[in-house]
Structure 1
């Protein structure tokens, strides 16, 4: 036996020991680096970021080791015992009603003291918070089986999240921090965009830059999923959410996952549950995906000019609203059938294509690349197609309008009147409702990414206009149609301005994936994962579209109710 063969045998026998030694050396090295890094830059944002990332990594490592011990079984048993004691019997009934009363009193007192007395014009948003759930109730497929516990606490949770995000400086700062980090990360795609598309890439930012940035996000998500970071956070928060709202764990996990992922990616988080889900549980999965903007959708929206912070905030706030809307439209019933998992389902879920679990870090990168190619190209294809369709329908509508003497009768013009009532009951100023109704119609028909570029310039106009009128009492302006001419600056604000509160309501109401275009994306994605249940999904897809739309409208209502200009 040669010396080289002996060395190989020795290494194979002691591979585990060498790997353990390597991990210890790397851990010591990182601890030394961590100490120097924190001590040399004490207190700055980068140091805190390094600290929190280190704490999260340490917790994940400790938790993974803990799950391998016998103590973990005792821990699970203890949690199950506590859960049983406090969810059954008279004790459960007392706690539940105490929380109902306490939460209701808190919300009523807060609205009276800090909304009605300070900004009474915001109270019109309450109309939407009542009417939208009522409309969902009327459209429900089984009104008698609605679990009002889930509905109440979903909307209460959304109220709490809205308070933290919209009414506290620290809550807004957290969202702003996440938005800034996201923008920093996706900007790494600039290097790839320049390399592939040349020095003129900025001239085609949306077409090229957004695609490359979306590639980066999907690959990063694939890697973080393999490392267990995303799965740990989503599963932990999702199970707590499910416990509080009275829904199944997969529904809670999917609701949290929709904050970070788009429809196809979020389905992967619960892929092991999908074949055995009841129809109402499956409905929550794809209806929830229509309520938020995560993953590649978030990047594409950012590329259209919308800041990351309100997108992250709206997506987080819409997650509980999605559960409420889904459970109103398709409640769980006791006699609901539970389809059994078949070999075909298992094969599709664990196939060797883009919908599978990564086996190594490099495999996770490759898997992310494959997923990004399919998802990004598909998303760009949908956007391009529906922009073309919208332009064709606009030209056709204008032609028909000309025949009867109505000028510029575009689809946007017609939709603005159709969606006017929705904008009004969300709390927008009546003068702004036609414009917002137009945007809502465009989002529902095509995509929010088509509507946001129309909103962005108007928001910028508002910033310029408010600075102009605050500069001097002699600064005058002239309204010309929908435009505003600033006399002293000799400048025209094309499209005019809308009220700041209307800007917020429009931004949050558009922040969702519910559109006819995305319906095709959902059907295509789930046809790959659970083909046996695609007929069930297509039957209820329009109901899911309604749930996703109303969820984002509820988020806009909370934003309008709690709006305060100085926060």
Structure 2
């Protein structure tokens, strides 16, 4: 029964995108179907086929081993404060430094040209399979490893000339993915690393799938035979490593700052909502609505509860069992309204109470930058690279959030299907 619901969920997500499409007649079904098949094929490969499972496991073990080297630096700087047995789990010490370490490594790989080569090869493959333009294929692939503010740099000279549909791909794929530098941060919270890696790769075809339905190509893209990939601006490997570490520090400070603000505001809002709940309990008791009054009296009103009710139907559609859809809906809502780090933190704190199947679905659903705040990030980053497209980015922002959310939910649905088989 749950499998049938998940299969229906795929159709519902695609239907939602079609209903919101700018021009349904202009949809290129070869690209759309190809993207869905590619996304589903990757899910089947790494989550169902034994050889693919071993490959994903090996990749996950490799990344985990890589992250373990960060412990050496963390222990050197923080000493006993980094010892979980002595000091407990301190987010600022155990998670944020991982962002700095991964950012430094990515910068080093970029300096040696490894990152450009990988993106170019994968992007070329996507272009041939889906019939997308060279520029949008490269940026979709780049988002597997880079942040939504960094990946447009790969095609910076062409941003101003991109069609509206191509620009929307840049935005949607950026929001549907997460930066490689923050994957370590999510893993540090206790989220399953292999599923985070799989979700990152599935985000590329998923973002293209939803982008090409919502804003189909109606113009003629400029066909560049060859796009010159940007090279590192650093003078040597040490310079690249140091610059990457500094960029990682900026990101980690931003994450910490954001979490302090959001978690504090949520606590304040919940305190107010709890008082509202008590007031409603007294009011409904006064007018004789005893059942409603008892519910308000025994169920603390909170932002998480409200988000759970709003988004629980969506969680059910993507394959979460009915008895767990409230919790899943809460996390999906937090990710959309606040950001994925807040959602991952809350998910990590209760994930052991959820079934393994639901844990997989939630991990894939949360693995993306699709939230309201990302609109401002993209207006700022793309607006600097191509000032003439700033107004286009602003107009397409909300639609990109919707497209990226649908892409993440599609990944979650497919993952739920294949882990259940």
Aligned to 1:101: none
Aligned to 2:253: 377
CA-to-partner distance for each residue in 1:378-416, whole Å, 9 max, x for gaps?
233333322223222222222222211124110111111
How far apart are 1:422 and its partner, in Å? 0.7
How far apart are 1:356 and its partner, in Å? 6.6
Aligned to 1:231: 116
How has the CA–CA distance of structure 1 residues 544 and 124 changed in structure 2, closer, same or farther, with 3 Å as cutoff? same
- Matched-pair contact (CA < 8 Å) for 1:186–1:214: no
Is 2:50 aligned against 1:174?
no
Distance in structure 2 (CA, Å) of the matches to 1:289 and 1:189: 27
Unaligned runs of 5+ in 2: 223-228, 282-295
Is 2:24 aligned against 1:143?
yes
Which residue, out of 300, 306, 315, partners 2:185? 300
Is 2:362 aligned against 1:502?
no
Aligned to 1:450: 342
Distance in structure 2 (CA, Å) of the matches to 1:534 and 1:377: 27
How has the CA–CA distance of structure 1 residues 370 and 453 changed in structure 2, closer, same or farther, with 3 Å as cutoff? closer
Q: After the TM superposition, which residues 102-141 of structure 1 pair with which residues of structure 2 at under 5 Å, given as runs? A: 120-141=1-22
Q: After the TM superposition, which residues 393-432 of structure 1 pair with which residues of structure 2 at under 5 Å, given as runs? A: 393-405=269-281, 406=296, 407-432=299-324
- Matched-pair contact (CA < 8 Å) for 1:205–1:303: no
Q: The residue matched to 2:143 in structure 1 has which SS?
A: helix
Aligned to 1:559: 415
How far apart are 1:459 and its partner, in Å? 3.6
How far apart are 1:192 and its partner, in Å? 2.6
Is 2:205 aligned against 1:320?
yes
Q: After the TM superposition, which residues 538-553 of structure 1 pair with which residues of structure 2 at under 5 Å, given as runs? A: 538-553=394-409
How far apart are 1:147 and its partner, in Å? 1.2
**What is the TM-score of this pair, normalised by structure 2?**
0.87
Q: The residue matched to 1:404 in structure 2 has which SS?
A: helix
Say which is worse superposed, 173-182 or 194-203, in terms of deviation.
194-203
Q: The residue matched to 1:427 in structure 2 has which SS?
A: coil
Is 2:44 aligned against 1:188?
no
How far apart are 1:159 and its partner, in Å? 1.3
How far apart are 1:367 and its partner, in Å? 2.9
- Matched-pair contact (CA < 8 Å) for 2:107–2:244: yes
Aligned to 2:289: none
Aligned to 1:484: none
How far apart are 1:167 and its partner, in Å? 0.8
Distance in structure 2 (CA, Å) of the matches to 1:366 and 1:430: 49
How far apart are 1:312 and its partner, in Å? 0.3
Distance in structure 2 (CA, Å) of the matches to 1:141 and 1:388: 39
CA-to-partner distance for each residue in 1:57-85, whole Å, 9 max, x for gaps?
xxxxxxxxxxxxxxxxxxxxxxxxxxxxx
Distance in structure 2 (CA, Å) of the matches to 1:414 and 1:223: 44
Distance in structure 1 (CA, Å) of the matches to 2:170 and 2:304: 31
Distance in structure 1 (CA, Å) of the matches to 2:195 and 2:354: 18
- Matched-pair contact (CA < 8 Å) for 1:387–1:446: no
Is 2:39 aligned against 1:158?
yes
Aligned to 1:211: 96
- Matched-pair contact (CA < 8 Å) for 1:305–1:452: no
Aligned to 2:170: 285
How far apart are 1:195 and its partner, in Å? 3.2
The higher relative CO (CA closer than 8 Å, separation ≥ 6) is in 2
Unaligned runs of 5+ in 1: 1-119, 339-348, 461-496
Aligned residues: 395
Q: The residue matched to 1:435 in structure 2 has which SS?
A: helix
Aligned to 2:329: 437
Is 2:249 aligned against 1:364?
no
Q: Provide runs of 4+ in structure 1 moved above 6 Å.
A: none
Q: The residue matched to 2:144 in structure 1 has which SS?
A: helix
Which residue, out of 382, 388, 391, partners 1:535? 391
Distance in structure 2 (CA, Å) of the matches to 1:457 and 1:377: 22
**What is the TM-score of this pair, normalised by structure 1?**
0.66
